[in-house]
Amino acid sequence: MELDRVDQEIIAMLVDDARRSYAEVGASVGLSASAVKRRVDRLRAGGAITGFTVRLDPAALGWAVEGYVELYCRNSTPPRTIHAAVDRFPEVVDASTVSGEADAVLRIVAADMRHFEQVLEQIGAQPFVARTKSVLVLSPLLRRPATPLPH
């Protein structure tokens, strides 16, 4: 989908605060509220905007431990099998197949170290998992949502 400068500005404003009104966005980009709504509808229909959400601070919600886990699978495990297994764990907040030695990388949040260890043990016990490798987050340095590529 081709995005023009106005689309990019609208998306940037909504990424910053998805609760902004179309009138507020329109005033900033030089369009009426109804014109902004039409553009947002087009961006949603085209797949550039997939939904609206809230960004949360895991620590403020009681998730005191965060880590990344590399999954090394036996044989060639299809992504849908990995997805089905890790989707059952609410502690897994991101999961991706990756290039390199590992087959997938998971981002896990937990209440404490024991909780993290329990989740790691349960994931490691899945029949397709050969081994795991984990690292704990000490301080998140940068977290931001994706925005359109600048032209």
Q: What does the alpha-carbon distance between residue 110 and residue 94 come to, in Å, rounded to a whole number? A: 13
Q: Based on the domain organization, do 127 and 71 belong to the same domain?
A: yes
77 & 101 share domain: yes
The pLDDT assigned to 11 comes to 94
The pLDDT of residue 55 is 84
Bridge partners, residue 37, by sequence: none
- Enclosing domain of residue 12: 5-45
pLDDT at 131: 97
20 lies in the same domain as 71: no
Establish if 150 belongs to a structural domain.
no
Same domain, 84 and 26: no
Same domain as 100, residue 65: yes
Domain CATH for 15: 1.10.10.10
Query: 27 in a domain, yes or no?
Result: yes
Q: What is the pLDDT of residue 125?
A: 97
Place of tokens 């620590």: 59
pLDDT score recorded for residue 95: 98
Divide the 151 residues of the chain into consecutive groups of 10 and give the mean pLDDT of each group. Answer: 90 92 96 97 95 86 95 94 97 96 97 98 97 96 82 62
Establish if 82 belongs to a structural domain: yes
Number of domains in the chain: 2
Phi-psi region of 51 (alpha: psi -120 to 50; beta: other; left: phi over 0): left
Per-residue model confidence (pLDDT) at position 6: 95
pTM of structure: 0.80
98 in the same domain as 37:
no
CA distance 151 to 35: 22
What CA–CA distances, in Å, run from 6 to 9, 29, 40, 128? 5, 7, 11, 47
- Flag whether 50 is in a domain: no
| Residues 80 and 15 both lie in one domain | no
Q: Are residues 128 and 66 in the same domain?
A: yes
pLDDT of residue 151: 62
User: What count of Cα atoms within 13 Å lies in the side-chain half-sphere of residue 30?
Assistant: 4
Phi, psi of 63 (to 5 degrees): -90, 95
Residue 149 placed within a domain: no
In a domain, 144, yes or no: no
Residues 100, 31 within the same domain? no
Q: What is the pLDDT of residue 2?
A: 85
The answer as to whether 141 is a domain residue is no
* CB contact at 8 A, 39 and 7: yes
Which has the closest alpha carbon to 16: 47, 55, 45, 50?
Answer: 55
Centre a 10 Å sphere on the Cβ of residue 68 and count the other Cβ atoms it contains: 14
